[in-house]
Structure 1
Amino acid sequence: MDHSSEEAEPFRPNPAKTKAEKLKEDSNVSSAKSQAIKEKTMGNDAYKKKNFEDALNHYQKAVDLDPTEIVYHLNIAAVYFEQKEYDKCIKQCEKAIDIGRENRADFKLIAKAFTRIGNAYKKMENWKQAKVYYEKSMSEHRTPDIKTLLSDIEKIIKEEERKIYIDPVKAEEEKELGNQKYKDGDYPTAIKHYSEAILRNPDDPKYYSNRAACYTKLAAFDLGLKDCEKCVEIDPKFIKGWIRKGKILQGMQQQGKALTAYQRALELDPSNSEALEGYRQCAVSVSSNPQEVRKRAMADPEVQNILRDPAMRLILEQMQSDPKALQEHLKNPDIAAKLQKLLESGLIAIH
């Protein structure tokens, strides 16, 4: 077999660098790194003074001298953020992440880059993208600050979705469906319709009142009471809310508190028959069984604390001897709140 006379060029390794060349190269690298740190320091000083263009120039020089250091790229991104150049900030952070990954940067710095991207998206009101990047930051390094940022952004997203869902017309449709189910005695389904009406229009008190009526029918008094309280919080003049609250409190055997609810209803309409009847029933119940009322009241830790207070005991004694003293004491909100608690518990009565 004929062999070609032309032979392949043999592999010749590059001659090893001399010790002097290596030292010179290391010295150059070390010098560049030192100069980069100086540029970063000057950049930081300018940044603190809000001289962002100067800061940017110094950080860029630091990058030119030491392009593998993630911190300098992050500092450039920080300047863009302050200048409200959010798109530039995001791109710079993405570049920093790539460089950081290639050079095995501390995961805390990678997390910082993701957080800064999240902050930029938050400023641009792109809540969902902000959430994505806060989550990425958390996956690199969990800190309480990022957890708070993530929690806050989730609340914003939830609130935005809630606002989009609001539709008063659909709320009324759901209420009508709920009313029909209530008439049919199908209270669980009525609750579903009233709940949907609340989601569609959360600022209308009547939906809470209607749902409270269903809860009362199902003897879920605690849930009904919560709805009544929301109802009168939205509209303190919504008389049906106070009456319903009174009925629920009666069902919970809290006659003193029920009395107060009926009293609020009667302040709005002194001739309301439901409120008058409820008030009468509670007043009779409280007066006919004082021992039971006292026993129940004394078991309440809040009542116990009020009665242990020497100042309050003095006020109660003064009220007995001088009824006019009450008006003076009611001017103090703290004392008024404590007297209201004792009234609701049925321990004292004001005539």
Structure 2
Amino acid sequence: MLHYFLGEEEFPAPSAEDIQRANALKEEGNECVKASKFNDAIEKYNQAIKLNRDPVYFCNRAAAYCRLEQYDLAIQDCRTALALDENYAKAYGRMGLALSCQNRYDAAIESYKKALELDPNNESYKSNLAIAEEKVREAGQRFQSNPGANPFGGLGGLLGAGGGAPGAAGMPDLGE
């Protein structure tokens, strides 16, 4: 039987049946996301991951976590997806989004830049990178005018109570 490793852990390679069932669960999870049933989606992705540790499943679960504002879990899933596939642009993009939502713009910029290295024509990554860079510039300007102040004070979470249309008024695009 084939095995693969993730960090220190060893996992048996999934059977063809496991892969087929996991893909079906992923699709069910995607339908739950479309219906804004994010907790149900997470459960479907959890079941898929138990059958097959595919980076797409982790990245999709990260998107559901973002929708529930559970950004640390989203970042963790993106890191796992990248441990499985270091060239998975969407995982870098999702991680950038979660980091931006935590006002961690410097780290978000690095994630978006890596996503763009891998997928240079992705407009969502480009626009989200520009938003994060603008937030860093704004913070720098606030700090220069008032060095004792929190440079990120007043920026608020990108997906906070005010909400807003994705991609509008400085909001990152969650559509990916």
TM-score (norm 2): 0.71
Of 63, 67, 72 in structure 2, the residue corresponding to residue 217 of structure 1 is: 67
Compute the displacement of 1:281 (Å): 0.5
The structure that is strand-richer by fraction is: 2
Counterpart mapping for 1:8-19 below 5 A: none
Q: Gaps spanning 5+ residues in structure 2: where?
A: 1-8, 152-176
What per-residue deviation string (whole Å, max 9, x for no partner) do you get for residues 75-130 of structure 1?
xxxxxxxxxxxxxxxxxxxxxxxxxxxxxxxxxxxxxxxxxxxxxxxxxxxxxxxx
**Is 1:163 the counterpart of 2:12 in the alignment?**
yes
CA distance in 1 between counterparts of 2:13 and 2:126 reads 42
What per-residue deviation string (whole Å, max 9, x for no partner) do you get for residues 260-299 of structure 1?
00000111122210111011011111112215598769xx
Match of residue 27 from structure 2: 176
CA distance in 1 between counterparts of 2:94 and 2:49 reads 18
What per-residue deviation string (whole Å, max 9, x for no partner) do you get for residues 154-207 of structure 1?
xxxx96xx63876111111111111111111111111011011111111x1100
Of 113, 119, 124 in structure 2, the residue corresponding to residue 269 of structure 1 is: 119
Counterpart mapping for 1:51-70 below 5 A: none
Change beyond 3 A, Cα 1:296–1:268: farther
**Is 1:234 the counterpart of 2:84 in the alignment?**
yes
> Please, what is the CA RMSD of the aligned residues?
2.3
* Residue identity opposite 1:253 in structure 2: N
* Residue identity opposite 2:37 in structure 1: D
Change beyond 3 A, Cα 1:260–1:164: closer
Say whether the 8 Å CA contact 1:191–1:211 is kept in structure 2.
yes
Q: Which has the larger radius of gyration?
A: 1
Q: Gaps spanning 5+ residues in structure 1: where?
A: 1-157, 298-351
CA distance in 1 between counterparts of 2:116 and 2:29 reads 28
CA distance in 2 between counterparts of 1:164 and 1:289 reads 47
Relative contact order: is structure 1 or structure 2 higher (C-alpha 8 Å, sep ≥ 6)? 2
CA distance in 1 between counterparts of 2:150 and 2:109 reads 16
* SS of corresponding position for 1:289: helix
Q: After TM superposition, what 4+ stretches of structure 1 lie above 2 angstroms from structure 2?
A: 162-166, 291-297
Change beyond 3 A, Cα 1:175–1:248: same
**Is 1:248 the counterpart of 2:98 in the alignment?**
yes
Change beyond 3 A, Cα 1:287–1:205: same
Q: Aligned pair count?
A: 137
CA distance in 2 between counterparts of 1:275 and 1:164 reads 33
Say whether the 8 Å CA contact 1:165–1:199 is kept in structure 2.
no
* SS of corresponding position for 1:260: helix
Match of residue 47 from structure 2: 196
Compute the displacement of 1:222 (Å): 0.5
The structure that is helix-richer by fraction is: 1
CA distance in 1 between counterparts of 2:125 and 2:13 reads 39
Change beyond 3 A, Cα 1:231–1:292: farther
TM-score (norm 1): 0.37
